[in-house]
Each structure stands twice: as C-alpha cells, then as structure tokens.
C-alpha cells in the first residue's frame, strides 16, 4: 500500500501558468520534504516542514511556495513556472522524533513546462 502519494504523476503546464503539486501521507509523520530532481542529478531540497514549522532552503527561488494545511497533506506551488523548472518533484516524509528514522518517498511528479 502506498504510504506517500503524489498527484499527479505527470503534469504539463505552460510557461508562466501557476501549478500546484500535491503530496499526501498515511504514516502520520511529522516531517514532509519537497525535492526537485533534474535528469541524472541528485535530489535538491527545496524546503521541508517539521510539523507546522517551515524550513526554506536559502537557494530556493521565491517562485516556489509550499503549504501544509494538516499533517497528511503538503502542496508545492510554482507561481510562474519557467522552462528551467522542468524536473521530477519528489515528496518525502520522516518521523522526525529520532530513533531509526528514515525518509519515505513518493513516486514523484514529473513536471514539464512548455
């Protein structure tokens, strides 16, 4: 059974048209992460939530925003996508309270900006 679910799996959007990616989890984990992964590269952390505490990476463009309305859901909003934002976007969760923690990943959303 899928524990971290990302929707949609594939998304095509036009240059400059806002887009929202969704992530939900059934693990009741405290921490949720968003990563951007371009072809053949490492996942790049955009931001993460520890409960309601938002942690933004210094080099994440302002174009990228996130919302976490409750424990189960987290959204990635790209306000004005550029061609360079074409990538796989990965959501992950972790328990966050120490002791045998690990991150569980969703299957990703492949975003194409045209």
Q: Which chain residues interact with another protein by CB under 8 A?
A: 30-31, 33, 35, 40-43, 45, 48, 50, 53, 55, 90, 92, 94, 96, 98, 100-108
Q: Closer CB to another protein, residue 75 or residue 103?
A: 103
Least separation in angstroms between residue 18's CB and another protein is: 27
> What letter would DSSP give residue 87?
E
Shorter beta-carbon distance to another protein: residue 11 or 79: 11
Q: State the nearest-atom distance from the C-beta of 65 to another protein, in Å.
A: 19
Distance CA 21, CA 91 (A): 10
21-43 per-residue burial string, b: 16 or more CB within 10 A, e: under 16: bebbbeeebbbbbbbbeeeeeeb
d(CA 77, CA 88): 14
What minimum distance in Å lies between the beta carbon of 80 and another protein?
Answer: 27
């Amino acid at each position: 059974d899928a524990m971290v679910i990302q929707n949609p799996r594939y998304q095509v959007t036009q240059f400059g048209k806002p887009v929202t990616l969704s992530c939900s989890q059934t693990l009741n984990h405290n921490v949720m992460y968003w990563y951007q992964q371009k072809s053949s590269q490492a996942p790049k952390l955009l931001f993460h939530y520890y409960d309601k505490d938002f942690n933004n990476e210094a080099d994440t463009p302002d174009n990228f925003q996130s919302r976490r309305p409750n424990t189960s859901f987290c959204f990635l909003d790209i306000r004005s996508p550029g061609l360079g934002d074409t990538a796989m976007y990965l959501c992950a969760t972790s328990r966050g309270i120490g002791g045998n923690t690990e991150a569980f990943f969703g299957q990703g959303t492949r975003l194409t900006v045209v």
